[in-house]
Amino acid sequence: MFHSIRRSRVATTALAGALAVGLLAGCSASTPDPAATEQPAQGDGPLGTVETMFGAIEVPQPEDGELTVVALGWSDAEMALALGITPVAVFDWQGFGAETHGVGPWAAELFGDAEPVLIERGDESLNYEQILGLDPDLILNTRSGNDEGEFDRLTEIAPTIYGPEGTGAYATEWTDQLTLVGEAVGKPDEAQALIADIEGQIAEAAAAHPEFEGLTTASVTKFGDAYGAYLPGDGRFDLLGQLGFVNNPPIADLEPAGFFANASAENVAAFDADTAVILPIGFTLEETQQDPLLSSLAVVQEGRAVFIDPDSELAGAWGASSVLSIPVVLDQLVPQLAEAAAQG
């Protein structure tokens, strides 16, 4: 079904360029093996079969030997790029823009001369005609809203990979995400090697800072008139957990909303942990530092909070939670966490 639909649109594939590859920056991060830029080896069977929340998805070998991938999910493009797969299009969830081809700036140098299509959402719906015109062999949507109707439409265009069964909306862990992408593109071993490398870097950072072990923390956001804390299961908390921090217990009493907990003004005290990481959405760094509720917390007054500038590379890397962005976070955030922890 996939090829009978797609091959009728071959003439429109010239709309798409090749998408970007991520540069692993910061820390003692290692860049993906240049040999991984090769296309998956041809074989008789399917390129890969992936177990997802919508069942097993088989990815056939591309008819022309060149795997054409559209990356729709949050950080899916970076996961593919880390494996040497260059998507022809990417959904720019974080608003990185055309200059870095819809992925983080740490990834820009690996784009080369490729010019990807940036996919936009119109009226809260994907432009399915645009995606069809890209003639993909594979669509990645592993960290997304998990909408089954959207899955059905995309699957009519090409095999589409969503997150594992039981995964919440936008809550696919980066290790699961990279595993799924690796299986889909025929590079499962390479994916596991990258996971082992990054987990090793995280473990080294934790070992270098034994003072983090057992300290309470809050991964805080301020948006509009509201506040929230990212929960275990979201990359913006999970990395802190891997470094030895624990979620501040009062946060467990807040109202959960997917991957974060809402906090009303009277509940902002739940963020008053041993340390805190505060990233605003829609506010400047200065506005957030001057917020009367946040600035009233002891963790802020005593210098035990790390404020992340929303316009910084660190902010983008913190939100991306990808195999390529985590080394950037380790390089830039860990020293600030150490300084904050020393104030306790």
Tell me the average pLDDT of the chain. 87
Residues 71 and 176 reside in one and the same domain:
yes
How does residue 254 score in pLDDT terms, banded at 50, 70 and 90? very high
Q: Quote the CA–CA distance of 221 and 223 in Å, as a whole number.
A: 6
DSSP codes joined into one string, 311-341: TSHHHHHHHH--TTTHHHHHHHHHHHHHHHH
> pLDDT (tens digit, 9 = 90+) per residue, 185-207?
999 999 999 999 999 999 999 99
Domain boundary among 167, 200, 233: 200
Q: Which tens digit of pLDDT belongs to each residue from 42-83?
A: 556 899 999 999 999 999 999 888 999 999 999 999 999 999
- 192 and 219 part of one domain: no
In the three-class reduction of DSSP (H, G, I as helix; E, B as strand; rest coil), residue 68 is classed as coil
Residue 66 sits in a domain of what CATH number? 3.40.50.1980
Q: Do 180 and 228 fall within a single domain?
A: no
**247 phi, psi to nearest 5 deg:** -65, 135
Regarding whether 216 and 160 lie in a shared domain, the answer is no
> What are the backbone dihedrals phi and psi of residue 281, each rounded to the nearest 5 degrees, phi first?
-120, 115
For the segment 200-224, the average pLDDT, to the nearest whole number, is 96
% of the chain residues with pLDDT over 70: 86
Question: Residue 277 is part of which domain span?
Answer: 209-341
Total domains in the chain come to 2
Residue type, 3: H
pLDDT tens sequence across 89-116: 999 999 999 999 999 999 878 778 889 9
- Concatenate the DSSP letters of all residues of 235-271 into one string: HHHHHHHHTT-EE-GGGGGSEEETTEEEE-GGGGGGG
3-state secondary structure of 111: coil
Task: Look at residues 165, 200, 235 and tell me which one is the last residue of a structural domain.
Answer: 200
Identify whether residues 128 and 237 lie together within a single domain: no
Q: How far is CA 198 from CA 26, 31, 86, 324, in A?
A: 12, 11, 21, 9
pLDDT for residue 21 is more than 50:
no
Q: Please say which residue of 141, 172, 200 terminates a domain.
A: 200
Consecutive H or E run containing 289: helix 285-289
Residue 298 has pLDDT above 90, yes or no: yes
